[in-house]
Amino acid sequence: MKIRTATVIGDGAWGTAMGLVLLWKGVRVRIWGAFPEYVEEVSRIRENRRFLPGVPLPGELAYETDLAGAAEGADLLVSAVPTQHLRSVLSALKGRVGATPVVSLSKGIEQKTLLRPDEIIHGVLGRRTPVVVMSGPSHAEEVARRLPTSVVAAARNREICRTVQEVFSGESFRVYTSDDVVGVGLGGALKNVVAVAAGISDGLGFGDNTKAALITRGIKEISRLGKCLGGRAGTFAGLSGIGDLIVTCTSRHGRNRALGEMIGHGRTLEEALGTTRKVAEGVWTSRAVVSLAKKKDVEMPISLEVFRILFRKKDVRSAVVSLMTRKLKPE
Amino acid sequence: MKIRTATVIGDGAWGTAMGLVLLWKGVRVRIWGAFPEYVEEVSRIRENRRFLPGVPLPGELAYETDLAGAAEGADLLVSAVPTQHLRSVLSALKGRVGATPVVSLSKGIEQKTLLRPDEIIHGVLGRRTPVVVMSGPSHAEEVARRLPTSVVAAARNREICRTVQEVFSGESFRVYTSDDVVGVGLGGALKNVVAVAAGISDGLGFGDNTKAALITRGIKEISRLGKCLGGRAGTFAGLSGIGDLIVTCTSRHGRNRALGEMIGHGRTLEEALGTTRKVAEGVWTSRAVVSLAKKKDVEMPISLEVFRILFRKKDVRSAVVSLMTRKLKPE
């Protein structure tokens, strides 16, 4: 199977960067965006000023405003739509996609249904559509600037997974394959709760020791729940698990970490949410995680303290003391 | 077994911080240092200006210059001596320690013998002396400032391990137990090679994506070799493995990362080594790792490229291309 043309659904930072990666490999790329005026502007000035400023966009990158038309005839679809909008955006393609593979880049869990993005895609487009979940430590700006980046692509169909691996891989972007669709998807969602905890730690003026311990113990509890939900331990120890968690917890730019930092400075959740239009997924994921952990009888001490701070007005310093003075145990 | 008195061997940053942690728990602590004049100064001005500046040292912290005398009658010995000096320092205690447990804080491998610190301690003090290896993401300055820190303590004897866990644990310092003495020790040594790679990445102007991928793939190869040498996978996924690796690769202060950064800027190894009196263990460890990996037939691509850059004059950019364009594979 040879990929000659691809359509990227979503003109945000990540969709644009993935479009560039495919373009560098000689694929003909079309990018669809939801807002015609903005798409027209990006296409004309050849820069995505709002989401990926400073990156020149080559003339070969075609821009489209009609989704069904843009997707028609493509060898590959790349879905780069925020999880909470995924269902409504894809509905325009219902019954039109067939066996064309979809690479899913969305991270998160749908709030109303608690479904993963790959499950939403199957639900809307049908079971026949092969879905490849791609995830890992990958700021879009760095990918677009050709800084070395490694990710993992997971699919049940091994051949399609390898095709995706090959078409994306190059000197600055390396793709590993996996068959753990569930684990790769869960890592990208559950990490956001730990990122809020990392931000709280920053807000309290804690240091590298605390951050590294939160990341290490955080992936441990993510892995514990993730295994109960069908993911594999090795996946959580990989690029889409610990790798992505490291970037999300240490980068200055993440919105979940930033929200946690405001909480650590003493702001309430309402105040912190009021300062930004961006969605901090970790806030809502913490709710889902706590109820899942309860249902599956899995210990998630860090996520639980984040939930208590956000929704039960627990004082941040007592949360820290709770975590540090839990019953002493083996690692 | 109750620990009432402890002697810390080594008056560097880490020995001093661990002395404070024990003091906070009500233990009577003596610290021994190798240089009488400096020990006298620290004891008088109640500040370790060279190694832990800005941290006031309480009057209860006793300072000693005679090692055998300082160790006599202690319930616990804490060894905080750099690995390459460990053998000669401990020789003063030969035949004098018996069954008193020793907490080993040294990280690294003895260059001449390729032995771990716990093996050196057993070799000098005898097999009867119980050794507990303590390691994890723990900058001494942050521990001394009571910022939350978690580490792992490993010993073959479970009871002694728990005693050490309890005597060190408090509101800002949390100890997990383990019986994987080999894995905990190896993590602290092998990480330094990956830290050099992380520094090279910084020197080349790479970003968070590259760093996170190096850490994730780095612990994977450390774990691969570590398992062949007798460590357990779970240990490398824990505080003394990935946890310590995260701190070492992301902190601005680490000497291995800093040396790598100079190499990334185009300096030669000789130039980089010439700028500092501090030892960058990762340089020498890379040699040991490459020969061990060959002997055990284990793939260590990151460590191998570090070795080639340092000792075979391989160009850093071609090393990056080598890593990114290796045969595509599953995660």
Q: How many helices (H) and strands (E) does chain A have?
A: 16, 8
Q: Which of B152, B200, B216, B239 best probes binding to A when mutated, by most A CB atoms within 10 angstroms?
A: B216
Question: Is B267 near chain A, with CB under 8 Å?
Answer: no
Pull the structure tokens for residue A73.
Answer: 């005839």
CB nearest A250 (choices: B238, B250, B328)? B250
Asked if the Cβ–Cβ distance from B247 to A143 is below 8 Å, we say no
End-to-end CA distance of chain B: 46
**pLDDT one-digit tens code per residue, A28-40:** 999 999 999 999 9
Pull the structure tokens for residue A276.
Answer: 């930004």
Asked if the Cβ–Cβ distance from A177 to B330 is below 8 Å, we say yes
Asked if the Cβ–Cβ distance from B321 to A201 is below 8 Å, we say no
- Spell out a b/e string for A78-108, using b for 16 or more CB atoms within 10 Å of the CB, else e: bbbbbbbebbebbeebeeebeebbbbbbbbb
- Closest chain A residue to B253 measured between Cα atoms? A208
Asked if the Cβ–Cβ distance from A331 to B137 is below 8 Å, we say no
The active-site residue out of A107, A191, A211, A227 is A191
- Closest chain A residue to B325 measured between Cα atoms? A171
Q: Is the pLDDT of residue A145 over 90?
A: yes
Amino acid letter for position A312: R
Q: Is the pLDDT of residue A173 over 80?
A: yes
Asked if the Cβ–Cβ distance from B147 to A209 is below 8 Å, we say yes
Q: Residues 6 or more apart from B46 whose CB is under 8 A from it?
A: B56, B57, B58, B59
pLDDT at position A148, please?
A: 96
CA distance A178 to A184: 8
pLDDT at position B279, please?
A: 72
Amino acid letter for position A109: I
CA distance B276 to A40: 56
β-strand pairing of A28-32 with A76-79: unpaired
Burial class (CB in 10 A: 0-12, 13-18, 19+), B47: middle
- Closest chain B residue to A212 measured between Cα atoms? B243
CB nearest B209 (choices: A138, A207, A219)? A138
CA-nearest of A149, A137, A12, A168 to A81 is A12
Mean pLDDT, chain B, whole residue set: 95
Q: Using CB atoms and an 8 Å cut-off, which of residues 207-226 of chain A contact chain B?
A: 207-213, 215-217, 219-220
Question: Is B322 near chain A, with CB under 8 Å?
Answer: no
Write out the catalytic residue numbers of B. Answer: 191
Pull the structure tokens for residue A203.
Answer: 């807000």
Whether A305 and A314 have beta carbons less than 8 Å apart is answered as yes
Mean pLDDT, chain A, whole residue set: 95
Q: Using CB atoms and an 8 Å cut-off, which of residues 291-310 of chain B contact chain A?
A: none
Instruction: Name the pLDDT band for A67 (thresholds 50, 70, 90).
Output: very high
Percent residues over pLDDT 90 in chain A: 92
Instruction: Name the pLDDT band for A275 (thresholds 50, 70, 90).
Output: confident
Amino acid letter for position B267: R
Asked if the Cβ–Cβ distance from A246 to B149 is below 8 Å, we say no
pLDDT at position B1, please?
A: 81
Amino acid letter for position A92: A
Question: Is B270 near chain A, with CB under 8 Å?
Answer: no
CB nearest A165 (choices: B143, B209, B328)? B328
* Residue B192: φ, ψ to 5°: -65, -25
**pLDDT one-digit tens code per residue, B96-105:** 999 999 999 9
> What stretches in chain B show pLDDT beneath 70?
277
pLDDT at position A168, please?
A: 98
pTM of the model: 0.94
Q: Using CB atoms and an 8 Å cut-off, which of residues 158-187 of chain B contact chain A?
A: 162, 165-166, 169-178
Question: Is A129 near chain B, with CB under 8 Å?
Answer: no
Percent residues over pLDDT 70 in chain A: 99
Residues of B whose CB is below 8 A from A235: 331
pLDDT at position A135, please?
A: 98
* Residue A95: φ, ψ to 5°: 75, 5
Q: Is the pLDDT of residue A278 over 80?
A: no
Whether A149 and A174 have beta carbons less than 8 Å apart is answered as yes
Asked if the Cβ–Cβ distance from B235 to A331 is below 8 Å, we say yes
Closest Cα in chain A, distance from residue B232 (Å): 12
| Number of Cβ atoms within 10 Å of the Cβ of B128 | 10
Task: Calculate mean pLDDT across residues A116-131.
Answer: 97
| Number of Cβ atoms within 10 Å of the Cβ of B293 | 20
Q: How many Cβ contacts (< 8 angstroms) between chains A and B?
A: 194
- Spell out a b/e string for A175-191, using b for 16 or more CB atoms within 10 Å of the CB, else e: bbbbbbbbbbbbbbbbb
CB nearest B150 (choices: A173, A213, A237)? A213
Residues of A whose CB is below 8 A from B242: 215-216, 219, 237, 242
Q: Is the pLDDT of residue A280 over 90?
A: no
Q: Which helix (H) or strand (E) holds A71?
A: helix A67-71
pLDDT at position B254, please?
A: 86
A273 sits in the region (left: phi over 0; alpha: psi -120 to 50; else beta) called alpha
CB nearest B237 (choices: A237, A239, A251)? A237
End-to-end CA distance of chain A: 46
| A62-64, strands of its sheet edge to edge | A62-64, A28-32, A5-9, A76-79, A102-104, A131-135, A149-154, A173-178
Instruction: Name the pLDDT band for A222 (thresholds 50, 70, 90).
Output: very high
Instruction: Name the pLDDT band for A57 (thresholds 50, 70, 90).
Output: very high
